[in-house]
């Protein structure tokens, strides 16, 4: 029907069948058939054929107004689905709790400044809840952490964009040693059950016949870090977060033997996003840049013996 609506609009603009044919590079007979097909589809005559040349009747004029609206909406839909058009519309981004901290405003701001027609709606949830919301059509894309080698369940699509080392930290005045026995005797400030970082730590300690003494279960990294800095307990935090949220000398890194815990950071989505695709690519690049300092910080910490008790 869209092609027939185009013929109706061209007829109204040109004022004749021949003029519409010239505008659409078709024959007059082809335009006549399109108009007749549209009338049959709607079950009513749109042209007054008692005059020469025919003209739109009263109903045809009203249909013409709606036809123009439909064609405009059709063009907007094509633009929305095209990855070549300027990004526009609502982009719904999910951010997993372990990554939800202040520096993530930088890639979001860069996205909205470059593409002012994009409106961002940001939600922070547990990783599994973000997956459920994407499958329900409530989110377009999510930034989430994974254990190395893991991906989101099908049909979600995972793109790993960065990695980070996870550090055991204590306050600058802390005196805990970096052997596993000492670590098992210290208090810990960790994420609640269900966190793969917490599970990785517990698994490593259990292999040594030990278990952590958990003094606080907190779902907010900033609050975890504040407890660590106060000396309340040890923490398990991503290196990038520690580097960007502490001044030198406020915490110390502990590196026990045979412990290398890393996380992958990924962009997860259901599928392609048409006109929003370029905006998602910019988001990916912005998140990737956030983690570059963490990699160099991790290497520096490993090389500096003053960072280790």
The reported pLDDT for the residue numbered 77 is 65
The reported pLDDT for the residue numbered 194 is 86
- Global pTM exceeds 0.85: no
The reported pLDDT for the residue numbered 275 is 79
By CB atoms closer than 10 A (0-12, 13-18, 19+), residue 298 is: buried
Report in angstroms the alpha-carbon separations of 50 from 28, 35, 42, 53, 57: 18, 16, 20, 9, 10
Cβ proximity of 81 and 73 under 8 Å: no
Q: Which residues in the chain land under pLDDT 50?
A: 294-309
Give the CATH superfamily of 89-162+263-296.
Periplasmic binding protein-like II (3.40.190.10)
Q: What is the pLDDT of residues 185-217, one digit of tens each?
A: 999 999 999 888 999 999 999 999 999 999 999
The reported pLDDT for the residue numbered 89 is 84
Strands 251-254 and 157-171: antiparallel
The reported pLDDT for the residue numbered 82 is 54
The reported pLDDT for the residue numbered 247 is 65
Looking from the CA of 194 toward its CB, the CA atoms found within 13 Å total 11
Where does CATH 1.10.10.10 sit in the chain?
2-81
Where does CATH 3.40.190.10 sit in the chain?
89-162+263-296, 164-262
Q: What is the pLDDT of residues 50-63, one digit of tens each?
A: 888 888 999 988 89
Nearest to 122 by CA among 135, 136, 138: 138
Query: The CATH number of 164-262 is which of 3.40.50.300, 3.20.20.70, 3.40.190.10, 2.40.37.10?
Result: 3.40.190.10
Which fold would CATH assign to domain 2-81?
Answer: Arc Repressor Mutant, subunit A (1.10.10)
Nearest to 64 by CA among 38, 29, 40: 38
The reported pLDDT for the residue numbered 51 is 85
The reported pLDDT for the residue numbered 190 is 95
């Amino acid at each position: 029907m869209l092609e027939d609506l185009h013929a109706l609009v061209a007829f109204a603009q040109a004022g004749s069948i021949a003029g519409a044919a010239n505008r659409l590079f078709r024959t007059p007979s082809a335009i006549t058939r399109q108009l007749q097909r549209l009338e049959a589809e709607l079950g009513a005559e749109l042209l007054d054929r008692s005059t020469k040349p025919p003209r739109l009747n009263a109903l045809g004029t009203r249909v013409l107004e709606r036809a123009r609206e439909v064609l405009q909406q059709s063009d907007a839909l094509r633009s929305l689905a095209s990855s070549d058009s300027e990004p526009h519309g609502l982009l719904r981004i999910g951010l997993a709790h372990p990554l939800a901290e202040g520096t993530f405003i930088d890639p979001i701001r860069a996205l909205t400044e470059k593409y002012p027609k994009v409106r961002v709606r940001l939600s922070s949830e547990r990783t599994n809840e973000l997956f459920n919301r994407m499958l329900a059509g409530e989110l377009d894309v999510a930034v989430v952490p994974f254990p190395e080698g893991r991906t989101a369940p099908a049909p979600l699509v995972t793109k790993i964009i960065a990695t980070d080392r996870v550090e055991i930290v204590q306050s600058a005045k802390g005196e805990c040693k970096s052997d596993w026995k000492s670590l098992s005797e210290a208090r810990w400030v960790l994420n609640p059950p269900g966190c793969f970082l917490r599970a990785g730590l517990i698994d490593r300690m259990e292999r040594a016949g030990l278990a952590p003494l958990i003094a606080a279960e907190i779902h907010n990294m900033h609050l975890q870090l504040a407890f660590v800095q106060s000396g309340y307990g040890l923490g398990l935090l991503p290196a990038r977060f520690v580097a960007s949220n502490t001044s030198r000398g406020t915490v110390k890194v502990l590196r026990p033997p045979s412990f290398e815990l890393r996380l992958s950071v990924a962009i997860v989505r259901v599928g392609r996003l048409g006109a929003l695709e370029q905006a998602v690519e910019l988001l990916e690049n912005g998140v990737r840049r956030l983690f570059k300092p963490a990699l160099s910080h991790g290497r520096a910490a490993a090389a500096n013996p003053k960072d280790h008790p």
